[in-house]
Amino acid sequence: MHTIEKQIATELSARPEQVNAAIRLLDEGATVPFIARYRKEVTQGLDDAQLRTLESRLGYLRELEERRRTILGSIEEQGKLIPELARALAEADTKTRLEDLYLPYKPKRRTKGQMAIEAGLEPLADRLFGDPTRDPEQEAAAFLNIEAGIADTKAALDGARYILMERFAEQAPLLARLRDYLWHNATLRARVVAGKEQEGAKFKDYFEHDEPLHKAPSHRVLAMLRGRNEGVLNLALVAGDDENASPCEGIIAHQLGIQAQGRAADKWLQGVVSWTWKIKLSLQMETELIGQIRERAEEEAIKVFAMNLQDLLMAAPAGMRTTMGLDPGIRTGVKVAVVDATGKLVDTATIYPFEPKKQVEQSLKTLRDLCVKHKVELVSIGNGTASRETDRLTAELFKRYPEARAQQIVVSEAGASVYSASELASLEFPGLDVSLRGAVSIARRLQDPLAELVKIDPKSIGVGQYQHDVGQSQLARKLDAVVEDCVNAVGVDVNTASVPLLTRVSGLSQTLAQNIVAYRDEHGAFQSRQQLLKVSRLGPKAFEQCAGFLRIRGGSHPLDGSAVHPESYPVVERILARLQQQVETLLGNSSLLQSLRPADYTDERFGVPTVTDIIRELDKPGRDPRPEFKTATFKEGVEKISDLVPDMVLEGVVTNVTNFGAFVDVGVHQDGLVHISALTDRFIKDPREVVKAGDVVRVKVLEVDAPRKRISLTMRLDQQAGEAGERKSRGEAPRRAPTQGKMAKPARPASQGKSPAEHGAFGNAFAAAFAKARK
């Protein structure tokens, strides 16, 4: 454990005592949000990002330690655990290094090398390797054994070759050297499978594609791997230009001290080296390293998904206002749901304003009556098929019936259909048609995106990049952590929260969340945090973890509506006593609170960091960390991709951010791509330096490919065709355009109604398609 603490501390640039304290809290069942917020003195200030990394590394290193013990036990049972090997195993800091060292001792199937040893050929192998001046044929003649199948010198030498080959292939230092060389020097080569050209046209950019292994970006790696999985592409590692003599053979020979000096066995030993590489190690290394870049690409894709999900969950809420949700549809009609300020469903309808029924007047009257009856303040329109037509219908409604006027906003409906058909939705609305449940979700996600989106599997929200190609358990863990962090950063109103939202609160399981709602239904709204202890199975430990993140508005204790933890109320009482104030007059009194010195109110349990947080919270009790609500206004008359023309300037909403750019919804049912090079005039490595999901941005159309439903956009609104020359005249370095033929092709054809995640799959190819237009 001491080694683990020290290693994690080094990786986090923290002190071992900080790491030790955090590990102890995690082992006791504390959550990352709780530790980051309410145990700053214990961890001496480790933040949530450090704690998440610590939690992940702790799991990996503990698995490593468990495997180390197993390997040590296995080798010790074989009676082969010498001090040097034990020391090497103790120092191994990765699973790969550990397995390399274990390889010679690992139980394995009966190999040709083992059979050769059983036939008595090991002394022959040792002689030729130890003394290359010996003549192989002459030495082999002494080892003929008809009964063992060694009928001639060729069989004897082949057996000796297998013995050495297997011995060489199990040397950990050699494997590490080869792995390092290939990582930095090998080329990842993709080639189309013969006869798959038409079927795999979406992978055309990779039909003849070479790329340095260690430089291959995650989205291209995942595209190539998908092409291989679909039987369209062959992938291989290529080291050097001479296919008959890989430089890896030279590395093996050098590592083993095998040299061509004209001695009798030199040529034979060179043959052993060639066999070792071609038969034993080349495929092993290729499999391992492609697996390594796959893991790296998956980690990056998961990271992209997590950041987009966080941006989406932390998007600005429109607030608790009566909202009408419209789930657009043509043939099946527009589904309408009205929810009150608390999100409670109060009315539904289905209207048919479009073909084939085209009941425009009746539809407008229905909408007007609902708006007036329930005093609707917001209209939330899903951005799927017929959203612009529905948006236009709503505008006509307000024009014709001013008394029904409300603010209309088009929102992403990603995941609404998943929620509609879920068990949760059926429990929440048992008698409601599935299609109408989607309209409820669309309304609520405008009121409070976080509270509604937690009901949907994060993978279905549609802000990922190749999310279906990555490890699903790893993806789920990462996304669950993001949701947990977001929910606890915002806080939850215990008297209005749903079971799914409460389940994400620190310390609460689904059972406890259900028990809270059941208690609320039976006894009415909670009046204090202490009342939570009356909930079935919610004990002191769970209360400690959850209480600070639960809010009670208008309860018996003013601090229950804030992020001040009940355990810290004595600190507030000391402040009140010294200032001779009441809590009601202190809350929000910025001038007074800002004059306080946190050090004056510390004690043996609560230090300056916690007291500083308390004073900040008292200044703005229960503040929401999410930004102010604002919306994009789509351009009138631009409703489909054919309405777009180059140089048109539009307002839109960022729906997805990838490593190569950002996708923007401009209201034509098909997101456009702003390549990373077109996001800003300055050089950036990460698009998130400029935009995030949910941002309202202004873009200009560069190019439109209507048949393939691809739109190229720029946020550099002054970008012109002669830009490269202008940059040159200013003495600036030329802006690099994406290299033709090396950009990712779509993993599947883009189509109307696809999620932003599916747009992301073809985005880089899309960028390449318009590279010339940007020059």
Determine contact, residues 323/443, Cβ cutoff 8 Å: yes
pLDDT at 760: 36
Tens digits of per-residue pLDDT, 180-221? 999 999 999 999 999 999 999 989 999 999 999 999 988 899
CATH class of residue range 2-105: mainly alpha
Closest of 528, 527, 532, 539 to residue 517, by C-alpha: 532
CA distance 133 to 229: 50
SS3 291: helix
Tens digits of per-residue pLDDT, 534-585? 999 999 999 999 999 999 998 999 999 999 999 999 999 999 999 999 999 9
Average pLDDT estimate for 89-113:
92
- The model's pTM is 0.79
Determine contact, residues 438/446, Cβ cutoff 8 Å: no
pLDDT at 342: 87
SS3 of 69-131: the string is HHHHHHHHHCCCCCHHHHHHHHHCCCHHHHHHHHHHHCCCCCCHHHHHHHCCCHHHHHHHHHC
Which residues, 6 or more positions from 470, have their beta carbon under 8 angstroms from its beta carbon? 222, 298, 301, 302
**641-774 is classed in which CATH architecture?**
Beta Barrel (2.40)
Residue, of 718 and 623, whose pLDDT is higher: 623
Among 584-588, 639-643, 698-702, 731-735, whose mean pLDDT is lowest? 731-735
Q: Any idea which residue has 């237009």 for tokens? A: 773
SS3 of 356-422: the string is CCCCHHHHHHHHHHHHHHHCCCEEEEECCCCHHHHHHHHHHHHHHCHHHCCEEEEECCCCHHHHHCC
pLDDT at 459: 81
Enclosing H/E stretch for 209:
strand 208-212
pLDDT at 465: 62
Tens digits of per-residue pLDDT, 118-142? 999 999 999 999 999 999 999 999 9
Q: For residue 163, what are the CA distances in angstroms to 5, 107, 141, 157, 253?
A: 42, 16, 17, 10, 16
Tens digits of per-residue pLDDT, 720-770? 433 433 443 344 433 333 332 333 333 333 333 333 333 333 333 333 433
CA distance 453 to 315: 11
Among 273-277, 287-291, 590-594, 760-764, whose mean pLDDT is lowest? 760-764
Domain-wise residue ranges, the chain: 2-105, 112-300, 323-447, 641-774
The residues pairing with 189 across neighbouring beta strands, listed in sequence order, are: 210, 236
Q: For residue 184, what are the CA distances in angstroms to 94, 169, 745?
A: 19, 21, 25
pLDDT at 718: 77
Tens digits of per-residue pLDDT, 11-63? 999 999 999 999 999 999 999 999 999 999 999 999 999 999 999 999 999 99
Average pLDDT estimate for 584-590:
92
Average pLDDT estimate for 86-109:
92
pLDDT at 78: 94
pLDDT at 707: 86
In the predicted model, is pLDDT for residue 238 greater than 60?
Answer: yes
Query: How many other β-carbons are positioned within 10 Å of the β-carbon of residue 514?
Result: 15
* Entry field: residues in the chain: 775
Tens digits of per-residue pLDDT, 267-276? 999 999 999 9
Encoded tokens for 51: 């704690």
Per-residue b/e over 409-447, b at no fewer than 16 CB within 10 Å? bbbbbbbbbbbbebeebeebbeebeebbbbbbbbbbbbb
Encoded tokens for 109: 């199937």
pLDDT class for 639, splitting at 50, 70, 90?
A: confident
Task: Tell me how far apart the terminal alpha carbons of the chain are, to the nearest angstrom.
Answer: 57
pLDDT at 738: 31
Phi and psi at residue 711, to the nearest 5° = -125, 125
Domain 323-447 has CATH 3.90.70.10: no
**112-300 is classed in which CATH architecture?**
Orthogonal Bundle (1.10)
Closest of 492, 480, 506 to residue 34, by C-alpha: 506
CA distance 728 to 418: 51
Averaged pLDDT of the chain:
88
